Amino acid sequence: MNNQLSVETAVCSEHQRLLAECEQALDNWNDHRAEFCKSYPIGKEAGDELVRLQANYARAYTVLRKHEHNCLLCQLVSTAEERDSEKSSDIYSDSMR
């Protein structure tokens, strides 16, 4: 253990939680979308559910973005990532896939 605070290994637990929520919402949405594609034509109820899930994801994503904007730790991390963007692959787009 060393005492030096490394920004690159710093983890914002709130950000992790929000990111997990965001991914969960995206997973749900994708699952339902795949399900609905198999059961064409899509009924109104199924369509409403899909819209609801999409809204859930959009909301989770907005909360995540807002947190990144307001959280000092997250800003430090993203600044560090920009600085050596060559070696650090984009963890967000990777995990969002």
Q: Which residues bind Zn ion (CB under 5 A)?
A: 12, 15, 71, 73-74
Length of the chain: 97
Nearer to Zn ion, 50 or 73 (CB): 73
Task: Calculate the alpha carbon distances from 97 to 45, 84, 94 in Å.
Answer: 27, 22, 6
Cβ burial, residue 26 (10 Å; 0-12/13-18/19+) = buried
CB 16 to Zn ion: min, Å = 9
CB 71 to Zn ion: min, Å = 3
Nearer to Zn ion, 15 or 32 (CB): 15
CA dist 84 and 78 (Å) reads: 10
Nearer to Zn ion, 65 or 83 (CB): 65
CB 15 to Zn ion: min, Å = 4
